[in-house]
Chain A
Amino acid sequence: MSKMIIRHYGPRAYPDHPPFDYPAYKSTIKRNPRQDLLSIVETLTESTGPGPVWTEIVGEDADLTTNAGTSGQAIGERIIVTGQVLDENGNGIPNTVLEIWQANAAGRYVHWRETNLNAPLDPNFIGVGQCITDEDGTYRFTTVKPGPYPWGNHPNAWRPAHIHFSLFGNSLGSRLVTQMYFEGDPLLALDPIYNSPPEHSRTRMVAKYDHDVTQEAWATGWRWDIVLRGEESMVEVAE
């Protein structure tokens, strides 16, 4: 049957996201658009997106403690990070890829621009991985807890421990890149990037310790759900 489905989603929740212009994070100053975003006629271009096909391409590589391919274990506090990828109705989004990247347990990235050279590299840790949600939208990574690290935004600035997450969802408009933080981190209150979204929504980026996820004599567990834009308001089917 010849048809196309155009899903019309609710808006990107601008009041829940950071502003483009957030001078406390200095790098935004020259990189934020000043013109208003132009409203678009939503077409098949916007209601589709790379999410589903990307899942077929990328495959799963969800254990960052072993995926350096050295046959050694990454050094650090082994953790399990798990949760659900949800749409705004609270329904799990199955079969979608999450990509993550992070610093090692000492707070150092495997990257030539890394400036935290006082911290050691770990030969058994590359700090990247991906996994695919199951039929309930559940994902699960094994990794080490990233260390906090210094950065140049302001005097004695330290990023709280965080893991970068990248997701596509099912449409172009559901694209999300975000960071996951850890409950109870004293650096959260001091970090302009964490504090860039409003108070009511920033806590949605914080993973909670979950003893049911913790595995005896193996790894502590953290739970974090991710909500992508995607409350369908109307679906059109055109022949």
Chain B
Amino acid sequence: MSGKVGQTPSQTLGPYFAIRIATLDEWRLPLPEGAERIVITGKVLDSDDDPVGDAMVETWQANPAGRYNHPDDQRDLELVEEFSGFARAKTEFETGEYRIETVKPGAVPDPEGEPQAPHISVIVQARGMLNPVFTRLYFSDEPEANEHDLVMQRVPKDRRHTVIAELVSGSDPVEYRFDIKLQGENETVFFDV
């Protein structure tokens, strides 16, 4: 079904979005009271496993109570006003590494009312990408919740590892690694969002 007026086409972010990012500081979300800090790090990689050094990684997530800071979410769960749930990071030019400091989201129900596994939505754009790609980040220390997650169940088993961030053992603050592979072997699962 198409609307009355056509969507404006997508175009690449180009190499210079950093001039925008430099005016803001969005990679670290505020820490809600009583919540534990987690750090998401990883690389954005191209088909040759070379670093994509000019990507933008954006994340959207619920707060620790499982509520989104959005007018459509009016459930009786704690809303942490200062926790927007949105973070944005650039990748480092030499390494393709990004870093986001946030908290683990609480579970959000699926359309059948069952809890989804804790997850963070991720949008990746870069020079050389004419459209954004959307994926989800799940957590390696939630194997049971991941197994029962409605969206995860649609991901072929041999590709599920591409959407699971790996807990770095002994890390303090708790760190999860989440590489994003744009093309080729171990290509990240991207969703039609």
Contacts and interface: CB of A to CB of B under 8 A. Distances in A.
Interface string A25-51: 111111111110111111111111110
A17 B74 contact: no
Contacts of B143: none
Interface string B14-33: 11111110011000000000
B72 A18 contact: no
Nearest to B87: A50
Interface bracket on A:
35 or more
Where chain B touches its partner, the secondary structure class is loop
Given A109-B16, A128-B20, A177 B1 contact: no
A88 B20 contact: no
B8 A50 contact: no
A177 B72 contact: no
Given A2-B76, A35-B189, A128-B20, A30 B71 contact: no
B90 to A, nearest CB: 12
A50 B24 CA distance: 16
Contact of A46 (B3, B58, B121): B121
Q: Which of B5, B54, B74, B75 has the most CB of A within 10 A?
A: B5
Contact of A172 (B47, B48, B111, B134): B134
B191 to A, nearest CB: 4
Nearest to B3: A88
A196 B24 CA distance: 30
B7 A227 contact: yes
Contacts of A178: 8-11
B151 A32 contact: no
Contacts, number: 264
Contacts of A231: 1-4
Interface string A176-217: 111100000000000001001100011011000000000000
Contacts of A99: 20
Nearest to A101: B20
Contacts of A176: 7-8, 10
Contact of B71 (A37, A52, A88): A52
Contacts of A26: 128
B103 interface: no
Contacts of A205: 8-9, 11
Contacts of B173: none
A13 B6 contact: yes
A117 interface: no
B174 to A, nearest CB: 22
10 contacts: A11-B1, A11-B192, A25-B130, A33-B190, A43-B111, A44-B73, A173-B193, A179-B12, A197-B10, A201-B9
Interface of B: 1-20, 23-24, 46-48, 50, 52, 54, 58, 60, 62, 68-76, 84-86, 93, 108-111, 113, 116, 119, 121, 123, 125-134, 136, 150-151, 154-155, 182-184, 187-193
Closest 4 CB pairs of A and B: A88-B3, A27-B128, A50-B86, A197-B9
